[in-house]
Amino acid sequence: MRLACVFNPFKYKLHEENLKIVQRYFGLFPPLSLAWVCAIAQRAGHDALIIDARTLRLTKEDVLDRLKEWKPDILGFMMTTYMFRETLEWVKFLKKNLKIPVIIGGYNLRVYPTESVSVDGPDFGCFNSAYETVPRLFAELEGQRRFQDVPGLIYKENGQVKMTPYARDPDFNEYPNPARHLLPNELYAEFTTERKNFTVMVTSKGCPYGCLFCEAGHTSYNPRSPETVVNEIQECYKKYNIREIDFFDYDFCVDRKRTEAICDGIIKSGLNVSWACRTRVDYVDETLLRQMKAAGCSRIYFGLESGIQEILDLLNKGINLRQIREAIEATKGAGIRPLGFFLVGSPGETKETFRKTLKFAKSLKLDYVQFSKLTAKPLTPYWQQMVENTGFDYWREYILGNIKERPLPRPWTSLTNEEIDQMTKKAYIIYHCRPMFLLHHTLQVKSWSEFQRKLFALTEMIFRQEKVSTMDENFIAYPENKAKVLSYKEKYKQGIPL
């Protein structure tokens, strides 16, 4: 079988938790889920192609031309809840013109498996891992078409949507490394990127904690072994010239022994690679941080959420303000840049509590901050409560196309959505426009490109804010990419492998 996976550009949505300006500068990331799916398909002997239309700024028509040439047997798309309708437009357009089946997978299929496939466009859905489903489905498509025997599959039969059971969640170590050879690795970067090439890795799934705003809470922890992780880092370094990695695990440091072993492995391998990760403040201490620094860790993103203890408790965060302060100081002391994620509009939040949170954030001397509007995201306890209390599931109706996108209500706070928006915007400006913060950042900038990116972001944040375009695909946050994008586009047009 020939599988072509398409990663479509996506625009800002009103139901998002972040401000438009933050989304715009967030960065260009490799479509990792699709790279896993393609690696799994290739290992089973199939051909695979990824078209990252977002990064390459390709239109639907550009992608269609390339696909007509490559002649896939099946198309693959990754579906998130937030961008479902937009990706569905791409599914429908390409399917109508190519007349081949489409398989979808990704997080939204865990939330709404049958609904996702019931709509016009997709033929098949993979609601768990592609690990078993894709090779088994492809064998059936080439053979008897006994779809009922494929584990973890959703399919349509006589106008009905059917779903088969999923046998097991495979050991994450058994996955091949993501198929980065199918990606334009030179073009990726995030707002904070200091070195290139840059990539994203996921080395564990799940999180044992239970914060009420988070969909990862109490999901089974499935880590890759330190050897597997170091092997993937080596592959990134040697094959793709990757020098900076952001580990997108929900929590990189859940298992201290694993973190230490990964750090040891990187140090022993002698690779000069910088990396960032996300973790909890109660998982780190001076000893671990020093080891992480020695292994190349340059940034840590901590979920700090609030500067008010009662709010942290209501969120079931399981940390206190002293732990936050100590962890940030220890991180800075180890020479690693700390970033703090904060929530706006938490339960019990008022203008006064948020003023205190902002003051707390400033006192921590973080290198970066992100203020997100607390939103009832699918599969979170707040979402469950909202559906139970109102009998209305916004996300389900949205993906089915029954309603238009809109900001969600936040019944756990007396603040209105408009007030939460205003507070979030103001927080960014107040936090970033402090003379000492600006001076510190300017002195730390490592390249002209990084300086330009940060200057543009600051100027837009102060003067334009939400007026910035929703068409994020029209924007290249990394000026040096312009020429490279054109050369990659040309390669795609001519069908030259990357």
Neighbours of 238 (CB within 10 A): 10
Q: Assess contact for 281 and 253: CB atoms under 8 A.
A: no
Token digits of residue 250: 């929900």
Token digits of residue 448: 């002209």
CB of 436 to ligand B12, least distance (A): 31
What, of ligand SF4, ligand B12, none, does residue 251 touch, CB below 5 to 8 Å by kind? ligand SF4
Selected from 6, 24, 33, 183, the binder of ligand B12 by CB under 6 A is: 33
Closest by Cα among 362, 363, 365, 346 to 308: 346
Selected from 9, 135, 303, 347, the binder of ligand SF4 by CB under 6 A is: 303
Q: Is 16 in the site for ligand B12 (CB under 6 A)?
A: yes
d(CA 421, CA 409): 13
Judged by phi (left if over 0) then psi (alpha if -120 to 50, else beta), residue 129 lies in beta
Q: Is 251 in the site for ligand SF4 (CB under 6 A)?
A: yes
| 146 class by beta-carbon count within 10 Å (0-12 exposed, 13-18 middle, 19+ buried) | exposed
The radius of gyration of the chain from alpha carbons, rounded to an integer in Å, stands at 22
Q: Is 217 in the site for ligand B12 (CB under 6 A)?
A: no
Please work out the total of residues on this chain that contact ligand SF4, with binding judged by CB under 6 A. Answer: 11
Q: Which stretch binds ligand SF4 (CB under 6 A): 135-143, 211-219, 411-419, 483-491?
A: 211-219
Measured from the CB atom, the residue of 183 and 304 that comes closer to ligand B12 is 183
For the chain, the maximum distance between any two Cα atoms, rounded to a whole number of angstroms, is: 68
Q: Is 126 in the site for ligand B12 (CB under 6 A)?
A: yes
Measured at the alpha carbon of residue 197, what is the angle toward residues 53 and 342, in degrees to the nearest 5? 80
Q: Is 229 in the site for ligand B12 (CB under 6 A)?
A: no
Measured from the CB atom, the residue of 37 and 262 that comes closer to ligand B12 is 37
What, of ligand SF4, ligand B12, none, does residue 176 touch, CB below 5 to 8 Å by kind? none
Q: Is 216 in the site for ligand SF4 (CB under 6 A)?
A: yes
Tell me the CA distances in angstroms from 261 to 231, 249, 288, 412, one per residue in order. 13, 16, 11, 42
CB of 274 to ligand B12, least distance (A): 18
Site for ligand B12 in 87-106 (CB under 6 A): 87, 103-106
Q: Is 207 in the site for ligand SF4 (CB under 6 A)?
A: yes
What, of ligand SF4, ligand B12, none, does residue 129 touch, CB below 5 to 8 Å by kind? ligand B12
Collect all residues with Cβ–Cβ distance below 8 Å to 132 and sequence separation of at least 6: 151, 152, 166, 167, 168, 170
Interacting residues with ligand B12 (CB under 6 A): 5, 10, 16, 23, 29, 31-34, 36-37, 76-78, 80-83, 87, 103-108, 111, 126, 129-131, 134, 200, 202, 215-216, 248, 250, 378
Interacting residues with ligand SF4 (CB under 6 A): 207, 209-211, 214, 216-217, 250-251, 280, 303
